[in-house]
């Protein structure tokens, strides 16, 4: 129990104390604790998830010892859920771990309300029929759901949530918000007060590039009837003008200005992504709207007024004297604060209008929303039944005919569904038992081709090699594949619970043959 801060140091650097707090509050339900489920949960328990409930009705068999690290010889014949749960508890005593010895399929059939107590359900190794039923239950109850399956050298991970809105999407590369081509009055007057022709060479080489670019963009606009460089030649010319101002080769600030000159050419206003979000019908809020959409509605009013998103307020490091840099930082922060106050006022007004307490969204939350306004992300997932009954046909066809990369992966997608139909018809998976291989291959082929036909696709794109190997797998749950699938699933769970970073979209199909895995948006 000692020093949780030190213990979690390496992950706190990724999702911070807020993310950690969200994990520690979450309660997770795992269905089936074979290697896929156990490994998924292991990664979450190590990170300090709040509580886990392991559900599995089976007993540990000899064969489980070969693919599941969380059972051992002493547990053969005993409840698998108990055994896995005990090992997981050993990993982290801060986690509340319990188990229920029951088959998930039975629980889905007989006790659907059981699932509503959890933050998120991880359903592993379920067949199609149970998945569809569970999906309906969880959507109804607004419980996050993620499916994971390992099958031979393939498998999949699929999130199923009505809507997941991310404020802190934390993208790796995102253009900073400097407003070089659209400076507000305070930034403009700060730049105006600085002389680029200052005689002192030390001052000259410590003028931050933000100032250089604001002034030079201004100068350009004056000489070009108010417009900024737009053609390739003009952009080149603009860069040359910057270069001409360099007095010595070691003036890093001017080099940075040339490299950053594209920020002057960047279009003003908001991205098409953000435009889509503020145009979303959910932004017409009422008393039932989520806090996120109330803030989007406020953002929409702000953008309609100013044409821009609220300023982020942070600036990247750049060559500069300390004094100019710190002053510049304060100018950006002040503008961000002012923008935030406007949005906050909009939020309070909207809350009033829809009949909610005007202070029910915290200042910290609104602030974070403003800081990340340009990076907001909405993820929506189709109900599983819709995808199974009517996959997006052109997408499916596109993947099927892409010989180069995704043909194996999409083949696996079809075959993963085909093996469940096979199991429903013949009470075992193709190749699960010795001796009926040839018959199983032809049966699986018939089912797979039929499945493709139902979706309006041509079955001939499915290769004999793939069908053969799918039968060879015989529903084996290989440890390395399960660990991979479990790793992916736990990663997505972390993103869903912390509400940070962007969860995957579509269905992830693992291709363990050559690792050309694929996300299918069907």
Nearer Cβ to other proteins (47/229): 47
User: Whose Cβ is closer to other proteins: residue 62's or residue 233's?
Assistant: 62
- To other proteins, the closest distance from the beta carbon of 22 in angstroms equals 15
Query: Are β-strands 154-160 and 144-151 bridged in parallel, bridged antiparallel, or unpaired?
Result: antiparallel
Residue closer to other proteins by CB (options 24, 234) is 24
Helices 322-353 and 185-192 sit at what angle, rounded to 10 degrees? Answer: 170
Write down how long the chain is. 522
CA separation (Å) from 122 to 158, 197, 302? 10, 64, 39
Our CB check for other proteins shows the closer of 16 and 112 to be 16
Backbone phi, psi, residue 99, to 5°: -140, 155
In angstroms, the Cα distances linking 387 to 72, 383, 500, 521 are 39, 7, 26, 9
Q: How far is 362 from 368, CA to CA, in rounded Å?
A: 10
Distance, CA of 457 to CA of 8 (rounded, Å): 49
End-to-end CA distance of the chain: 45
CB of 311 to other proteins, least distance (A): 18
Give the distance, in angstroms, between the CA of residue 234 and the centroid of all CA atoms in the same chain. Answer: 39
Residues 311 and 235: their CA atoms lie apart, in Å, by 25
Q: How far is the CB of 475 from other proteins (least distance, A)?
A: 8
Instruction: Calculate the CA 4 to chain-centre distance.
Output: 26
Nearer of residues 172 and 357 to other proteins, judged by Cβ: 172
CB closer to other proteins out of 53 and 83: 83
Short-list 446, 444, 418, 447, CA closest to 431? 444
What minimum distance in Å lies between the beta carbon of 323 and other proteins? 8
CB of 269 to other proteins, least distance (A): 22
Q: How far is the CB of 292 from other proteins (least distance, A)?
A: 19
Q: In angstroms, give the least distance from the CB of 232 to other proteins.
A: 29
Inter-helix orientation angle 479-498/35-46, to 10°: 40
Q: Which is nearer to other proteins, 356 or 495 (CB)?
A: 495
């Amino acid at each position: 129990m000692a020093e949780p801060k030190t213990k979690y140091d390496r992950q706190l650097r990724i999702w911070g104390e807020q993310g950690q707090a969200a994990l520690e509050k979450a309660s997770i339900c795992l269905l089936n604790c074979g290697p896929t489920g156990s490994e998924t949960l292991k990664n979450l328990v190590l990170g300090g998830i709040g509580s886990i409930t392991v559900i599995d009705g089976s007993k540990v068999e000899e064969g489980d010892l070969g693919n599941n690290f969380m059972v051992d010889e002493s547990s053969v014949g005993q409840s698998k859920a108990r055994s896995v749960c005990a090992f997981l508890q050993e990993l982290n005593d801060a986690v509340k771990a319990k188990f229920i010895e029951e088959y998930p399929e039975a629980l889905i059939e007989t006790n659907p309300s059981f699932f509503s107590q959890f933050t998120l359900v991880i359903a592993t190794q379920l067949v199609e029929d149970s998945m569809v039923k569970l999906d309906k239950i969880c959507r109804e109850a607004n419980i996050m759901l993620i499916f994971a399956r390992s099958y031979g050298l393939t498998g999949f991970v699929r999130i199923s949530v009505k809507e997941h809105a991310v404020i802190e999407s934390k993208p790796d590369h995102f253009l900073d918000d400097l407003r070089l081509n659209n400076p507000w009055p305070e930034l403009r007057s700060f730049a105006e007060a600085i002389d680029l022709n200052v005689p002192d060479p030390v001052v000259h080489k410590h003028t931050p590039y933000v100032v250089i670019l604001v002034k030079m963009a201004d100068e350009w606009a004056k000489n070009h009837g108010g417009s900024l460089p737009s053609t390739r030649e003009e952009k080149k010319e603009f860069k040359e003008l910057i270069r001409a101002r360099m007095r010595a080769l070691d003036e890093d600030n001017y080099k940075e200005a040339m490299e950053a000159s594209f920020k002057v050419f960047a279009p003003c206003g908001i991205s098409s992504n953000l435009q889509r979000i503020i145009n979303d019908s959910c932004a017409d809020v009422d008393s039932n709207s989520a806090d996120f959409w109330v803030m989007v509605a406020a953002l929409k009013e702000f953008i309609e007024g100013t044409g821009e998103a609220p300023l982020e307020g942070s600036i990247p490091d750049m060559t500069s004297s300390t004094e100019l840099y710190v002053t510049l930082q304060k100018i950006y922060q002040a503008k961000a604060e002012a923008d935030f106050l406007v949005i906050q006022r909009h939020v309070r007004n909207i809350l009033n209008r829809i009949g909610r307490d005007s202070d029910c969204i915290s200042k910290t939350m609104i602030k974070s929303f403003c800081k990340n306004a340009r990076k907001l992300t909405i993820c929506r997932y189709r109900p599983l039944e819709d995808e199974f009954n009517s996959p997006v046909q052109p997408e499916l066809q596109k993947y099927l005919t892409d010989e180069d990369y995704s043909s194996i992966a999409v083949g696996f997608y079809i075959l993963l569904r085909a093996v469940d139909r096979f199991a429903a018809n013949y009470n075992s998976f193709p190749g699960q038992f010795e001796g009926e291989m040839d018959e199983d291959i032809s049966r699986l082929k018939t089912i797979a081709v039929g499945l493709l036909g139902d979706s309006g696709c041509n079955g001939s794109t499915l290769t004999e090699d793939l069908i053969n190997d799918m039968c060879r797998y015989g529903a084996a749950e290989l440890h390395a594949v399960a660990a991979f699938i479990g790793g992916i699933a736990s990663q997505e769970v972390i993103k869903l619970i912390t509400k940070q970073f962007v969860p995957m979209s579509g269905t992830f199909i693992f291709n363990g043959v050559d690792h050309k895995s694929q996300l299918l948006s069907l």
